[in-house]
Structure 1
Amino acid sequence: MTDSEIARRHLAAIGVARELGALALDYYSNREKLAVSMKGAQDFLTAADGAVEQRFRERIAEAFPGDGVMGEEAGGENAENLWIIDPIDGTSNFARDNPHWCVSIGFLRKGIPEIGVIFMPVMEELYEAVRGGGARRNGKAIRTSGEKDMGRATIEVGWSARLPYASYIDLLHKVFSSGAQPKRSASGALGMCYAADGRTDAYLELHINSWDVAAGVVIAREAGAVINDFFAGDGLTKGNPILVATPDLAETLADAMALSRSSLLKPA
């Protein structure tokens, strides 16, 4: 795939993200349309999730008919050119009238994350990156905080219902014991962006799905973060742990998560 073909997809992803954000925001602002239901304990679903993902599939089919799509709601299969969509990341926030949610769009070429676009409609913040081209928020370059001291660090620790509660509590204990301040905001995609943008110093989650991170791994690495090799093994279809951190904190946090230091990828 040529640079121009990647660039075309990048621009398309930005445009579609804004369109999808407007669609989601219409649901968010008209709460009688939400039709909130539960897929499981603390696993919210709204009418907006399906509508946003379906619109995305239509737009990709029109613009790039040979590309594959994988989404949180309708699934999908691997493809040489693969789009991965989380129509609303932070659905529990979305359903409760909390503005901390986003649309997340990633693009992989032969399994390599190439493009990431994450749009937070309520705050009108758009994060985007192309592999090798840096990362931006609303057009301005972003970088990690560069924090080196755990005693000064703020670390977001995501929670997964797919693992025992004890695993999450143990990781929180390790973060507290290191001297860092943990937090949780219930959007993995935005958690990665905030670590990339220096709003926090790291994002950790012991298990997360590919649609939550496909965009964020590009943005974070291009912003100077260390990440783990999320798409190793069955990461695409079954998920993996995710670590996003400033370079000087990454190894300590990998140890806390029982991740091999060899799985860490240096910043772009």
Structure 2
Amino acid sequence: MILDDLAIDQREAFCLDLARSAATLALDGFERQAGQPVGMKGPQDYLTETDGAVERHVRARIAEAFPADGFLGEETGGIPGSTAWVVDPIDGTANFARAIPHFCISIAFVANGEVQLGAILNPAMDELYFARKGRGASRNGKPIHVSATTELQATSFELGWSNRVPLARYIAALTALFEAGSNVRRGASGAMALAYVADGRTDGYAELHMNSWDCLAGLLLVREAGGVTGPFLCLGGLTEGAAVLAASPAVASALATATGIPLLTAPDTLPAAPLTNLRTA
């Protein structure tokens, strides 16, 4: 199903309102969560009541407003289809669980083979990042741009960690960046990290494996803010996950060399193979 501009206009307005309503739930949960026990889905993989509550809210609103659209969420999975809302209800759950105000809701909309809309909202900071394909990126309605850093020894990169790849690859990438003179940090929210690249707060972000709900909104933000990324959708990342790289243009090749993640050389589009149901553990 090919969507025209009017159909995407409707979803843009809906996406912004949806992000705000989800943020209200998330912030309420954050304020109640402090000091409470936290469940675990796996090693360093936290789960709170708020994750489920926010995703149920988002999924129900999408089903009511656009019943023909697909849905893919971190907590409940889904069937993406040719149009899909891809949602992480709380990215940075480890921070959320420990009362650290560095977490967000990430909502992406995929149609016509590409990511069309992306919203990342940190409720604790009241910062809403938004991008629409071909129309730029913003924070709280004001245009944003990637950093102008050109000297590698002045860079500040963020490097995400994933237990889906050997630890040695992560250590090798980290070592290469430090040896090149970069500052490297980890904020424990990949979606926020990508938003910060788009906003020029960080020069680049890389993670050797990410799921689509963590990164699709952020990758669009970076590209619309003038940055470059690695391929993701074209590698089957929507349902299987893939490596992620995003950076300001002048330093992107250095980050690609250190991590072994290639830069995108053509539009990042969905593969031709049909999409299938995906459910998370």
Distance in structure 2 (CA, Å) of the matches to 1:118 and 1:264 = 25
Q: Deviations over 1:175-221 (max 9, x none)?
A: 10111100100000010010110101001111111000111111110
Match of 1:231 in 2: 233
Match of 1:133 in 2: 135
Output the TM-score relative to the length of structure 1.
Answer: 0.95
Amino acid aligned to 1:90: G
Answer with 51-60 or 1-10: which moved more.
Answer: 1-10
Listed as ranges, the gaps of 5+ residues in structure 2 are: 269-281
Q: Does the 8 A contact of 2:34 with 2:98 survive in 1? A: no
Q: Does the 8 A contact of 1:226 with 1:264 survive in 2? A: no
Cα distance, 1:165 vs. partner? 1.8
Flag the 1:61–1:117 CA change in 2: closer, same or farther, 3 A: same
Distance in structure 1 (CA, Å) of the matches to 2:104 and 2:114 = 23
| Secondary structure at the counterpart of residue 117 of structure 1 | strand
Match of 2:144 in 1: 142
Match of 1:211 in 2: 213
Q: Does the 8 A contact of 1:228 with 1:265 survive in 2? A: no
Q: Does the 8 A contact of 2:85 with 2:108 survive in 1? A: yes
Q: Does the 8 A contact of 1:203 with 1:244 survive in 2? A: yes
Sequence identity, in percent?
A: 46
Please tell me whether residue 28 in structure 1 is matched to residue 30 in structure 2. yes
Match of 1:55 in 2: 57
Alignment RMSD (CA, Å):
1.6
Match of 1:169 in 2: 171
Cα distance, 1:3 vs. partner? 1.0
Q: Does the 8 A contact of 1:34 with 1:48 survive in 2? A: no
- 1:85-104 → structure 2 map (5 Å cutoff): 85-104=87-106
Distance in structure 1 (CA, Å) of the matches to 2:61 and 2:203 = 35
Match of 1:190 in 2: 192
Listed as ranges, the gaps of 5+ residues in structure 1 are: none
Amino acid aligned to 1:172: L
| Secondary structure at the counterpart of residue 55 of structure 1 | helix
| Secondary structure at the counterpart of residue 162 of structure 1 | coil
Flag the 1:48–1:240 CA change in 2: closer, same or farther, 3 A: same
Match of 1:72 in 2: 74
Distance in structure 1 (CA, Å) of the matches to 2:154 and 2:214 = 27
Q: Does the 8 A contact of 2:34 with 2:99 survive in 1? A: no
Flag the 1:33–1:79 CA change in 2: closer, same or farther, 3 A: farther
Flag the 1:103–1:252 CA change in 2: closer, same or farther, 3 A: same
| Secondary structure at the counterpart of residue 234 of structure 2 | coil
Extract structure 1 runs of 4+ deviating beyond 6 A: none
Output the TM-score relative to the length of structure 2.
Answer: 0.91
Q: Does the 8 A contact of 2:22 with 2:58 survive in 1? A: yes
Match of 2:11 in 1: 9
- 1:33-48 → structure 2 map (5 Å cutoff): 36-48=38-50
Flag the 1:85–1:265 CA change in 2: closer, same or farther, 3 A: same
| Secondary structure at the counterpart of residue 215 of structure 1 | helix
Q: Does the 8 A contact of 2:35 with 2:98 survive in 1? A: no
| Secondary structure at the counterpart of residue 30 of structure 1 | helix
Q: 2:249 aligns with which of 226, 240, 247?
A: 247
Distance in structure 2 (CA, Å) of the matches to 1:74 and 1:147 = 40
Amino acid aligned to 1:38: M
